[in-house]
Structure 1
């Protein structure tokens, strides 16, 4: 599942199931693209078997933060750090997409486990799908859409209220639990790829340590 805008400098938020071998926990990867640049992957082992029942996978996006949630538990936060000169995905309207695609060259155990095509066709099922947002017509200028979809004196949007600008105390503790017990990869700590940690990582780590 993903949210994405259009074009080569698009913004994108991803939930990706990477697959597993029998009996192992399922891995979910999240990623954030800003102005066409990704490489912000995090991976976690789910604390349940997602193939046994439906679960909720949500993205809460506003002008201040992007929060990825699994069954209402936050598993990732990407904060708006524009005041530090770091671009934030806020001005491009997005659509919601879902697909099944073959990524066995890299996804499961780094590409060691290949797709077993004898199990095809592969099917994904959804229920309770909901978009709670603000429509952004393509015929309307970006600045006008941004104004229309922000809380103001005439209209209030729950996702744009001050209380949604950061996690509450309970959610912060949930995120700490996820990172400590279920996260298996974080681009911020991958020194092979990033000898110098990306700037946003330094701030996110600081916020986590002081929540």
Structure 2
């Protein structure tokens, strides 16, 4: 297990203590955390840099070697440059089965000069339709930026360069299910989605610009690794703090946004959000219950 030494020592100590108990994982190296899931011939390895390419034969995807419950997953991505219309680069966490939970980043390609759109979505017990779309405050094709998913028993937070862009809070006290009982894998892929990705499918993929390449580096999974031989209930118990063990993701400071993060989220929503399912009365004549209760 290689630990990125750029991390501060308290993290390293936490890592070592946690690893002895349950198997926290942290690494910047793709090969230690992930494996190709399809189209291995569309992977390009350049040292610590990984590139996935999409052409008119195939896209490509990878998945984590383990499944996790609670923690934080990050990767740095540089998105497809130039005319990327019709393409989608996805980074997401998902459990298995028809009643799966899923947390999605989907980066929707564009024609040159238009902003890249980021769509987030969240499935709980197999039910999705919770899309939000943003344009970013930078050009994600010019440099690497860090995209993260933080998950604990209180909230799911989507972050871009540590700025929260979306929060889904636990509202079980309102009778709403919350994703906290299924181990999740970590996935990424690039694929052709020109039936919907760009301007609702009006702009198709221009294959003369292929291959479309997404670049990745600095993979980090600081999360509770789940055993495949243990039940989901036992995994949930093993990955939750108790009198014997304390995990950073259960700390009260990680259970909700701090004041600065709340202001950041408000800024993102005010200046960069272009679609929110909560306000789509055509799709949802009755406002979804979680939208009524969410403060953000």
- For Structure 1 versus Structure 2, the TM-score category normalised by the shorter chain is over 0.9
Match of 2:147 in 1: 57
Is 1:155 aligned to residue 269 of structure 2?
no
1:170 counterpart = 2:265: no
Confirm or deny: 8 A CA contact 1:25 1:47 kept in the other structure: no
- SS in structure 2 of the partner of residue 140 of structure 1: coil
Alignment correspondent of 2:287: 197
Match of 2:45 in 1: none
CA contact (8 A) 1:18 1:29 kept: yes
Bigger drift between 189-198 and 157-166 goes to 157-166
Alignment of 1:1-211 (within 5 A): 1-204=91-294, 207-208=295-296
Provide TM-score, normalisation by structure 2.
Answer: 0.68
Larger radius of gyration: 2
Q: Pairwise CA RMSD of aligned residues?
A: 0.9
- Runs of 4 or more above 3 Å deviation: none
Structure 2 unaligned residues grouped into runs of 5+: 1-90
Farther-moved stretch of structure 1 (30-39 vs 106-115): 106-115
Q: Which stretches in structure 1 are left out of the alignment for 5+ residues?
A: none
Larger fraction in strand: 2
SS state of the match for residue 28, structure 1? strand
Question: Counterparts of 1:116 and 1:82 in 2: how far apart (Å)?
Answer: 46
**Equivalents in 1 of 2:234, 2:261: separation in Å?**
33
Q: CA deviation at 1:119?
A: 1.7
Q: Secondary structure at the match of 2:107?
A: strand
Flag the structure with more relative contact order, 1 or 2, with Cα contacts below 8 A and sequence separation at least 6.
Answer: 2
For 1:166 and 1:201, how far apart are their aligned partners in 2? 17
Deviations 1:83-134 (A, max 9, x none): 1111111100000000011111111111111111112222221111100001
Determine the C-alpha separation between the residues in 2 that align with 1:5 and 1:162. Answer: 26
Range 145-154 or range 85-94, more displaced: 145-154
- For residues 134-163 of structure 1, what are the alpha-carbon distances to aligned partners after superposition, in whole Å with 9 as ceiling and x for unaligned? 111121012211111011222221111111
